[in-house]
Structures are given as structure tokens and as C-alpha cells.
């Protein structure tokens, strides 16, 4: 019996979990991911609409009608093509539910390798696209005394770029999160209804959600030859303030297949998966990203 390709079913299951298993899950849940169309297996097209401004009207004359908006499609090629394979013992295979079998086979791989790799690729690609677009990060050494003022400067730049505060996410390393907790100017409230307990947990700052990310997943450069590791020139990203609408994060699984045992596989099943995925910063949304990075 020919083995079936479960790429679509497997991708659907992964996408349902992305917001919960990825540190940058909010960026994979961006509304932008419903606004592109596939051109082929590794190329998408994103819509770009431009319009003109309003002009003065008069009651005495009729102006010539003209089209004052333009809708174009910009192609983007997914460059991050990844694969993984493994032999599987027949005892680990559910003949009646291949999708469940694939999920079980890949669970540890996903949790310990794929998902951290996706997080590492996400932040480093955002940093690369953002700096390539001419933006630069704040490189001031962070302290409990200055961290709030630096954060305020990031918000100020966004306000000047007409970026709404609603929907912003602040990604921070554990060390940066500790600085925020101990920052001068942080006010805490005591809930007397909870036996005078004082909670030091800070989950938002000026109504901006804070997400703590391990420092190893907040680098500027990674090397992905086998798995992932920080690149030799990598710098630590301390803070990344971003609106998920600034990015698009397409993922396409072309292949997820479990072949039956054969003589060549010495009686084992063979699992193989292949995907195209990438992260793009939208050119007209670069102001919706601010970073604080190691000097």
C-alpha cells in the first residue's frame, strides 16, 4: 500500500499549537498570515494598497473622476527550507491513525529542536530585515535606573511613526525582565484580600504585554547548518518591542510521510518531513519594531 502524504494535516495540527509552544507565537498568529496568497510551493504574494489624500471640494464644479488608489501584489520567496527524517520501530506506529503516529514521533523533536529553531530564526530574521531597512537598535547598557527611560524612548519612536500601542508585545530576556521588576519608577499594589501578599510578577508595562524569552533565543545571528546555534558575531537582544502586524510568517509543509518497513530500512518505518517557512518584516511597518541590543 502506498504511503500517504500527511503534510496538510500535520501542518494544520502544528499551526494550532504555534501560539502556545513558540515564544514568538503571537507573531505566528498575526492577522497578516490570512492576507497573502501562494504563488507556488515556496513563493507568496502580499497585497500592497496605496492611496492619495483628500482634496478640496466645491459646489460649483464637477471634478474629473480618477482612480486614487492602487492595489499591487508583491512576491516574496521563502528561503528557509528545512527537512528532518528518522527511522521508526513498528511498535511505535498506529496503523489506524497515521497522523497521530506522526505527531507522537515528532513531539520530542518539535519541542527540543524545531520550535526553538523557529524562535531563533524568527527573531534573527526580524533583526536582519529591520536593520537592512535602515533601522538601528538602542545599544545603551541596561540598568534598573535607565530601563524605563529606554523603554519610553522606544514607545516614543513608535508614537512618532503612528504605531498604535494596542497589540504591542515586549519580548525580553530573563535578565531584562529582572531589571524591569526592580526598575526605579515601577509602582506595585498590595492586595489586602490575599493575606497581604505582594505579587512581584509584571506581565504588562503601560498596557503592553511582556513575554520572557530565554536569552539563547534572543540573538541577532544564528547558524542553522545542523539544528541551530548562535552565530560567531551574534549579539544579545535585550528587548524587542513589536506589533505583530509588522511581520508575516508563512509556513508550508510540502511533505510529511511515513513509509512502510522494507529491506532497505531493515524492517523499520521511515519518516520524512520537509517545509518551506520564513519571516518577513513588511516594508511599510518597520516603525512598528524597536529593539535594545548589546553594544
pLDDT tens track for 239-275: 999 999 999 999 998 888 888 899 999 999 899 999 9
The C-alpha cell of 8 is what? Answer: 496538510
Which of 167-171, 193-197, 267-271 shows the lowest mean pLDDT across its residues? 193-197
Per cent of the chain over pLDDT 70 is 92
The x, y and z cell numbers of residue 211, run together, are 513575554
Cβ pair 284, 107 in contact under 8 A: no
Joined grid coordinates for residue 3: 504511503
Confidence of residue 189 (pLDDT cuts 50, 70, 90): low
Domains of the chain, residue spans? 7-49+70-293
DSSP string, 65-90: P---EEEEEEEEE--EEEEEEEEE-G
| pLDDT over 90 at 292, yes or no | yes
Question: 63 vs 58, 69, 176, 220, CA distance in Å?
Answer: 9, 17, 58, 53
Q: Alpha-carbon dihedral of residues 109, 110, 112, 117, nearest 10 degrees?
A: 120
pLDDT of residue 156: 96
d(CA 217, CA 222): 9
User: 95 is written with which cell numbers?
Assistant: 496503523
Q: Which of 10-14, 113-117, 258-262 comes out lowest in average pLDDT?
A: 10-14
Q: Is the pLDDT reported for residue 160 higher than 90?
A: yes
Q: Does the pLDDT at position 193 exceed 60?
A: no
So what's the pLDDT on residue 256? 86
Q: How buried is 189 (Cβ within 10 angstroms: 0-12 exposed, 13-18 middle, 19+ buried)?
A: exposed
Q: What is the pLDDT of residue 68?
A: 79
Lowest average pLDDT, out of 9-18, 94-103, 252-261, goes to 94-103
Coil, strand or helix: which one is 163? Answer: coil
pLDDT value of residue 47: 83
Residue 146 has pLDDT above 90, yes or no: yes
pLDDT mean across residues, the chain: 88
Cβ contacts of residue 127 below 8 Å, gap of 6+? 137, 220, 237, 291, 293
**pLDDT of 1 strictly over 50:** no
- DSSP-assigned beta bridge partners for residue 247: 281
Work out the end-to-end distance of the chain between its first and last CA atoms, rounded to an integer number of angstroms.
Answer: 58
Residue 39, C-alpha cell as written in the block: 504563488
- Please compute the mean of the pLDDT values over residues 113-118 and round it to a whole number: 95
pTM: 0.86
DSSP 3-state of 256: strand
pLDDT of residue 71: 78
Residue 201: per-residue pLDDT: 61
Highest-pLDDT range among 85-94, 184-193, 261-270: 261-270
Rg for the chain, CA atoms, rounded: 24
Give mean pLDDT, residues 28-57. Answer: 86
Amino acid at each position: 500500500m502506498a504511503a500517504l502524504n500527511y503534510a496538510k494535516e500535520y501542518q494544520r495540527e502544528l499551526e494550532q499549537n504555534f501560539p502556545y509552544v513558540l515564544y514568538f507565537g503571537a507573531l505566528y498568529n498575526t492577522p497578516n498570515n490570512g492576507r497573502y496568497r501562494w504563488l507556488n510551493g515556496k513563493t507568496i504574494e502580499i497585497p500592497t494598497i496605496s492611496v492619495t489624500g483628500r482634496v478640496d471640494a466645491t459646489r460649483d464644479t464637477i471634478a474629473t473622476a480618477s482612480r486614487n488608489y492602487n492595489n499591487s501584489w508583491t512576491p516574496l520567496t521563502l528561503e528557509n527550507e528545512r527537512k528532518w527524517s528518522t527511522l521508526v520501530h513498528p511498535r511505535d506506529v498506529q496503523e489506524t491513525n497515521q497522523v497521530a503516529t506522526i505527531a507522537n514521533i515528532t513531539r520530542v523533536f518539535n519541542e527540543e529542536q524545531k520550535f526553538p529553531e523557529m524562535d531563533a530564526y524568527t527573531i534573527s530574521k526580524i533583526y536582519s530585515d529591520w536593520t537592512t531597512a535602515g533601522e538601528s537598535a538602542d545599544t545603551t547598557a541596561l540598568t534598573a535606573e535607565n530601563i524605563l527611560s529606554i523603554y519610553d524612548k522606544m514607545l516614543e519612536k513608535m508614537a512618532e511613526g503612528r504605531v498604535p500601542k494596542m497589540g504591542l508585545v515586549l519580548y525580553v530576556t530573563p535578565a531584562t525582565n529582572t531589571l524591569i521588576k526592580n526598575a526605579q519608577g515601577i509602582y506595585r499594589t498590595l492586595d489586602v484580600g490575599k493575606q497581604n501578599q505582594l505579587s512581584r510578577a509584571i506581565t504588562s508595562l503601560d498596557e503592553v504585554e511582556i513575554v520572557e524569552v530565554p536569552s539563547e533565543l534572543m540573538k541577532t545571528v544564528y547558524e542553522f547548518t545542523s539544528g541551530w546555534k548562535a552565530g560567531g558575531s551574534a549579539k544579545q537582544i535585550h528587548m524587542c518591542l513589536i506589533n505583530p502586524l509588522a511581520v508575516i510568517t508563512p509556513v508550508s509543509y510540502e511533505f510529511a510521510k511515513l513509509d512502510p518497513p522494507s529491506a532497505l530500512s531493515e524492517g523499520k518505518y521511515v519518516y520524512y518531513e520537509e517545509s518551506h517557512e520564513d519571516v518577513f518584516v513588511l516594508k511599510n511597518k518597520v516603525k512598528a519594531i524597536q529593539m535594545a541590543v548589546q553594544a
